[in-house]
Structure 1
Amino acid sequence: MSTLTRARCRARAHPAAVDTVLAVGVLLCMVAGSFVEPHDPEGVSWGLRTPDPLSLVLMALGAAALVFRRRAPRTVLGVAGGLSVVESVTGDPRAPVAMCAVIALYTVAASTDRATTWRLGLLTMTVLTGAAMAAGPLPWYAQENLAILAWTGIGATAGDAVRSRRAFVQAIRERAERAERTREEEARRRVAEERLRIARDLHDVVAHHIALVNVQAGVAAHVMDKRPDQAKEALAHVREASRHALGELRATVGLLRQSGDPEAPTEPAPGLDRLDELAATFRNAGLQVEVARADQDTELPAAVDLAAYRIIQEALTNVQKHAGTDARAEVSVVRVGPHIEVTVLDDGNDDGHDPTSGGGHGLLGMRERVTALRGTLTTGPRYGGGFRVHAILPVEPRTSAASGGRP
């Protein structure tokens, strides 16, 4: 910290001491000026003279009033202006008592608005200059009278300039602080959204593959002794499901790496092009899955494609966990106008099939994905048994769709 900065900090911490030092300095300047004779009668440019006792008293009172200029600026201006009028009318008009009024006017201008500065500045200038010209012993056109006019104008202008600069600096500081808060809030929001997205992906990957691993492991344990060939096939499916789970987990966790970490996997996110592969994994686990597509090979945005895949994956995982081993599931993907509709139905052979009662986050994750894309999701039991998941997703972003019809 520089010496000037330290001095400013100390001055802000002790304003009364600063005003006292200023008052003493102004008093010394006024007293020194009262002994100077600017026009010596003998032809010398400068000389000495004996000040008027009344002027010395007025100087002391004016300097004492400046000590309180921050606490009561308008009162101090009134006192200093009155003392200057008295000095101009009854005392020695060459004594610079008006210096106190100039400093008081500067303080008022620096601490109030511009309209008030104009009113008080013009009033002070008119009263002091008019009193000196009309009632003073010197001619109205004397330079001492014109000096009062000039110095009061300078005091008001300087104070208004300081106030404007302070307001400008304060506005810049507040704008910078507001921008910093906005950046921090935006960063926190983005982090929260990214954390939520990663949590959804991890849930979908783990829930799907671990459910398959659990089913196939149970099959292998059941037929290990009697049908070892079928047990080997089930274990092969366990290995395949775990391999896929590790691959997707590696791709998801790779997003969390820093710039200096090894390069993250570049495998694209899964989409509807892998729907048949997804259905095959469930068929291998014993779930009967039928897939019907009428989307005319629509090119979907990456976010919509991934969301549709994850919704089907989670819905089939819920069927596997809740509907029983003899359940049947139907998956349909249909293009309807500017939307694509994804439907997963099951017949729910087991009693009490209700994915919403498991306490998991599958349906919540589906709804968050659909809401993020400005789509709609409907879930609920079917009449006669079973469960239905129906999602409507926009094929194109809303901005693109809105602008496509313009000429």
Structure 2
Amino acid sequence: MGPGRYRFPVTPLAPGQAGPRPGGGPLAWIRAHPRACDTVLALAVFVAILVGAMAGPHGPHGPRFGERDLTVTTAVLAAVASGALAVRRRFPRSVLAVTGVCTVLELLLETEAPRAPVACSVVIALCTLAARTDRSTTWRVGALTVVVLTAAAMLFGARPWYAQENLGIFAWTGMAAAAGDAVRSRRAFVAAIRERAERAERTREEEARRRVAEERMRIARELHDVVAHHIALVNVQAGVASHVMDSRPDQAKQALAHVREASRSALDELRATVGLLRQSDDPRAPTEPTPGLAVLDHLIDGFVRAGLPVDLDVPRPADALPAAIDLTAYRIVQEALTNVHKHAGQGARATVRITRTADALTVTVLDDGTGPDGPDAPEPGGGHGLIGMRERVEALRGTVETGPRPTGGFRVHVRLPLHTTQATHQAGASGRSCRTGETG
């Protein structure tokens, strides 16, 4: 999760479940108490059925109440149909079947005064089924319900068959199925929006963690390259000074001067690297450019003064290289020469060859050393030089080959493609972890 962002908890919605809404009031109470709401609805439907059974629909000024007598059949069917609505959320199909059967029984049994007020329970049950199931189920069950109830009303209901009471059953059941399907579609839409928001939040957090890990890897690699190079030079020059301190003090002083120069360079590069951790508005943050092939001569001079002869074959400056490739090429030469100085032994000679084509930059570092002998020979394993080298090259989608030469010595060959995308250049500045590697 990036800085300055707040994460709100998101609870996944069950099928047919409405998402929570801000605010309180009656709607919030209804959502918090669904069973109590269904019980109240069942009582209201029961009262409405009883009132409708006793009302005359064709009065001179509208319906007139008390014109009809309430029969036991209507009261029992109303109680069963409305009572079933109390469990409409848990058993929508069963509730629809019960209310539909009660409606048909009322049309069949009330032969003297055909009426179908129990049908209002079917409307609510059908709407609930459409809201809590899928669209295909709504179409199939809804069509069957509309056809059965309309046919029963026209056959056994009010006369003539096209009376408004019979057509009303057709209209209300059809609208109930449509309304329930609209409610279900809206709930699915809200659930999809919430799921996408949650996925986007997770993606932002994962991206932030990935960027942090890549930045840590890049800084660790920079620190290793700086420290390994300069400390190797300091170690060699300090050993020379210690060896000739008594016999040749002038040479010892020269070696100590090289130690001081190498340590100063290490401190400068460490300061520049650690400065990346500062805030962008810190006035003490370093502003020197990162090293590149333009300052490769200074790097070679340091190794030559430390006693490692280096032959440099670099083409004339052409178009400027991308910053990531320029820095990577410099670090490859630095790490390869550091390994030669540490592991190739006395009398070794190195060759640095850099070639550039229209498609790639090739860096080759060769040496003819045979490796040091004696108790001070380095132990295999434990280094990170070639690991970091491979990480840099793979981040730029290049290739690296390292290994001993048939004629003796060691070879490092790197190819860096120049036609990379902007995203690859940024990845080169950040770096990626590598699966395999060798010691530095």
- The alpha-carbon distance between structure 1 residues 355 and 376, as it changes in their structure 2 partners (threshold 3 A), is farther
- The residue that corresponds to 2:55 in the other structure is 36
Runs of 4+ in 1 over 6 A off after TM superposition: 352-356
Check the 8 A contact 1:295/1:334 in 2, yes or no: no
- The residue that corresponds to 2:410 in the other structure is 387
**1:358 offset after TM fit, Å?**
3.6
d(CA) in 2 for partners of 1:70 and 1:94?
28
Check the 8 A contact 2:51/2:65 in 1, yes or no: no
**1:113 offset after TM fit, Å?**
2.0
User: Which of 154-163 and 47-56 deviates more?
Assistant: 47-56
Deviations 1:316-350 (A, max 9, x none): 11111111243211111122442222111111143
- The residue that corresponds to 1:367 in the other structure is 390
Is 1:82 matched up with 2:101?
A: yes
Amino acid of the structure 1 residue aligned with 2:146: M
Amino acid of the structure 2 residue aligned with 1:48: G
Check the 8 A contact 1:90/1:136 in 2, yes or no: no
d(CA) in 2 for partners of 1:108 and 1:45?
31
d(CA) in 2 for partners of 1:255 and 1:9?
53
Deviations 1:3-58 (A, max 9, x none): 247525523xxx444332322222122223333334448x7853324322211111
Secondary structure class of the residue paired with 1:331? strand
d(CA) in 2 for partners of 1:26 and 1:263?
77
Amino acid of the structure 1 residue aligned with 2:90: R
Identical pairs, percent: 62
Figure out how many residues of one structure are paired with residues of the other and give that number. Answer: 396
- The alpha-carbon distance between structure 1 residues 230 and 8, as it changes in their structure 2 partners (threshold 3 A), is farther
Secondary structure class of the residue paired with 1:266? coil
d(CA) in 2 for partners of 1:175 and 1:73?
29
Please, what TM-score do these two structures have when normalized by structure 2? 0.83
Any residues of structure 2 matched to 1:121-136 within 5 Å, and which? Answer: 121-136=142-157
Amino acid of the structure 2 residue aligned with 1:74: R
Secondary structure class of the residue paired with 1:67? helix
d(CA) in 2 for partners of 1:251 and 1:93?
94
**1:131 offset after TM fit, Å?**
1.3
- The residue that corresponds to 2:201 in the other structure is 180
- The residue that corresponds to 2:437 in the other structure is none
Any residues of structure 2 matched to 1:232-271 within 5 Å, and which? Answer: 232-259=253-280, 261-262=282-283, 264-271=285-292
- The residue that corresponds to 1:279 in the other structure is 300
d(CA) in 1 for partners of 2:174 and 2:312?
88
Secondary structure class of the residue paired with 2:160? coil
Is 1:194 matched up with 2:215?
A: yes
User: Which of 114-123 and 281-290 deviates more?
Assistant: 114-123
Secondary structure class of the residue paired with 1:357? coil
Is 1:114 matched up with 2:132?
A: no
Structure 1: state its 5+ residue gaps: 401-407
d(CA) in 2 for partners of 1:142 and 1:352?
112
1:220 to 241, 244, 253: 241
Secondary structure class of the residue paired with 2:412? strand
d(CA) in 2 for partners of 1:2 and 1:234?
78
Deviations 1:199-232 (A, max 9, x none): 1111101100111111222223333344443333
- The residue that corresponds to 2:6 in the other structure is none
1:46 to 60, 64, 84: 64
Check the 8 A contact 2:368/2:409 in 1, yes or no: yes
**1:259 offset after TM fit, Å?**
4.7
Check the 8 A contact 2:354/2:361 in 1, yes or no: yes
Check the 8 A contact 1:381/1:388 in 2, yes or no: yes
d(CA) in 2 for partners of 1:390 and 1:44?
98
Check the 8 A contact 1:295/1:333 in 2, yes or no: no
User: More relative contact order in 1 or in 2 (CA 8 Å, sep 6+)?
Assistant: 2
User: Which of 183-192 and 124-133 deviates more?
Assistant: 183-192
- The residue that corresponds to 2:75 in the other structure is 56
d(CA) in 2 for partners of 1:95 and 1:9?
31
Secondary structure class of the residue paired with 1:245? helix
Please, what TM-score do these two structures have when normalized by structure 1? 0.89
- The residue that corresponds to 1:404 in the other structure is none
1:70 to 72, 76, 89: 89
Check the 8 A contact 1:55/1:95 in 2, yes or no: no
- The residue that corresponds to 1:18 in the other structure is 37
- The residue that corresponds to 1:403 in the other structure is none
Is 1:378 matched up with 2:401?
A: yes
User: Which of 305-314 and 64-73 deviates more?
Assistant: 64-73
Is 1:100 matched up with 2:118?
A: no
- The alpha-carbon distance between structure 1 residues 280 and 287, as it changes in their structure 2 partners (threshold 3 A), is same
- The alpha-carbon distance between structure 1 residues 44 and 31, as it changes in their structure 2 partners (threshold 3 A), is closer
Deviations 1:38-83 (A, max 9, x none): 4448x78533243222111110010122123222212221111111
**1:137 offset after TM fit, Å?**
4.1
Deviations 1:256-308 (A, max 9, x none): 22456445322111111111100111112121222112355452111111111
Secondary structure class of the residue paired with 2:353? strand
Structure 2: state its 5+ residue gaps: 1-21, 424-440
